[in-house]
Amino acid sequence: MENQKFDVIIVGAGPAGSLAARKTAEKGLNVLLVEDHKEIGRPVHCSGWINGCPYTEKLIEEFGREEIITPVDRWRVWTPSGEFAYEFKFNGGYFVDRVRLDQFLAIKAIQAGANLSIRTKVLDLIKEDEKILGVIIQRKGKTEKIFSDILIGCDGAGSIPAGIAKKSGILQFDKKKGRKYFPGIQIEFLNIKDMDPGVIEIFFGAIFDKNLGSAFVSPLKEGQGLVGFGTFKDYLNVKQKHPVFKQRLKNAQVFSVRGGLYAALIGEALRTGTMSGLMLCGDAVGYHGIIHAAISGHMAADVAVDAINDLDFSKEKLQAYDRTRRRHPITRTKLGISFQNLNEENLNSFLKEQGEIINKDIFKGLGTFDYQSK
């Protein structure tokens, strides 16, 4: 593979990467999809929630409705004092097996003609005069250079602190300097008491890791669910001290633990996600969420096809991707807001008095997501 040339190299075989690989390969481009790990979809970093919207429905129809673990139709919030704050119905979407979804999307990309290289680590980028010309990889113990007209970075939350986004130098154009990323975990429990199918719950409070300040409960099946914490210590604190949650976890058994990174600026994308020869998608450009990532990969693929047809890989040409995503609800809709400046008493009051209004507004935006090629 040394010094081989592709039309498009895509780094990361998550939803963004596999969608981008599939859409470019379907147009007859020579595409290489690079994945660091030895198996698509593992290790798992998220709950598998795909928010309800028209794009999700099209994806689920192709993926298969039999793959749905549980549909979601309600959102429930608890105050730091352990009081019920509010609950409302919304088009919540579905929980699916993230491994099966990622592998399904990668298979579709390969069937469309994309080449896949697993256990392939990107060591650095080939860069010349602010142009990205390819990647330097390590594969089977060997270091190789692979060239491309366009590189699409879909390497997840690690991209901004240490991956493609960082290596490219594109972050100099980010107006929100000092983006911070923190480790987080999700613990899968069996025998959770009062697990409510179809209801996502969020608990707030100082009992949790100060950076996250909350715990998310994602229902899977009866008595089975994922709980997102900042650290494992959060779980130990909850089990001993939380006025409500400790009773629900009293007899629960830890079934699995998965980890990952989350951004302090959840839902706030980089304004500039392009430079000559490069586009960033999904978490690499600041989008958190499966559907956010998938749509951004789809958008980047369309721009890549146009650029290669025109033999123009300049930043000016690829900025069509930035313009498209900025106009789309995936950029305008945030997934959360920070409550770090509120003490527990004020947060209690805020959640009871204003929380539901703000939450409904956020989910209204999520429900509009759709995208199709021109």
- Per-residue pLDDT reduced to its tens digit, 98-145: 999 999 999 999 999 999 999 999 999 999 988 999 999 999 889 999
What local confidence, expressed as pLDDT, does residue 188 receive?
92
Distance separating alpha carbons of residues 290 and 255, to the nearest angstrom: 23
| pLDDT digit string, tens, across residues 275-305 | 999 999 999 998 888 999 999 999 999 999 9
Its pTM stands at 0.92
Cα angle: 109, vertex 113, 119; to 5 degrees: 60
Nearest to 367 by CA among 34, 88, 56: 56
Is 193 in a helix, a strand, or coil?
A: coil
Domains of the chain: 4-45+99-178+266-332 (3.50.50.60), 49-96+181-263+337-366 (3.30.9.30)
CA distances from 335 to 62, 90, 240, 354 (A): 26, 15, 30, 17
Average predicted confidence (pLDDT) for the chain? 89
